[in-house]
Amino acid sequence: MFAIIEIGGKQYKVEKGLKFEVEKLDLPENEELKVEKVLMIEENNDAKIGRPYLNGSSVTLKVIGQTRGEKVNTIKMKPKKRYIRHLGHKQHYTMVEVTEIK
C-alpha cells in the first residue's frame, strides 16, 4: 500500500514506515501531522485517484527532527575588476516518518 501526498507544493510517494525529508515545518519533535492532501492511494492493485484530492483520506506523519541539506557553493565574479565573492547555502528540512495511511 502506498499513497501520493502533497506537502509544501511538492508531491511525495509514501508508504508506512518510510522516513523522508520535507521542506522545513515549524513543529517540535514527536509531533503528529495529519496530511489531508492525498492525491492517490493504491491498495492491492486497486488505485483510487482524487480530482485533485481524495475526500476522507489522510496520511499521518510523525516529526523525527530538523536537519539541513548539503552545502551549495556559488561564486560571483566580475572579470578584469578583481571582484570575487563566495557564497554558501544550506537548506533546512524536517525529517518525518509515515505512521498511518487511511
pLDDT in tens, the chain (102 residues): 999 999 999 999 999 999 999 999 999 999 999 999 999 999 999 999 999 999 999 999 999 999 999 999 999 999 999 999 999 999 999 999 999 998
Stated pTM of the model: 0.83
pLDDT per residue over 9-27, tens digit each?
Answer: 999 999 999 999 999 999 9
Strands (E), the chain: 2-7, 10-14, 19-23, 32-35, 38-43, 46-49, 59-68, 72-78, 83-89, 92-101
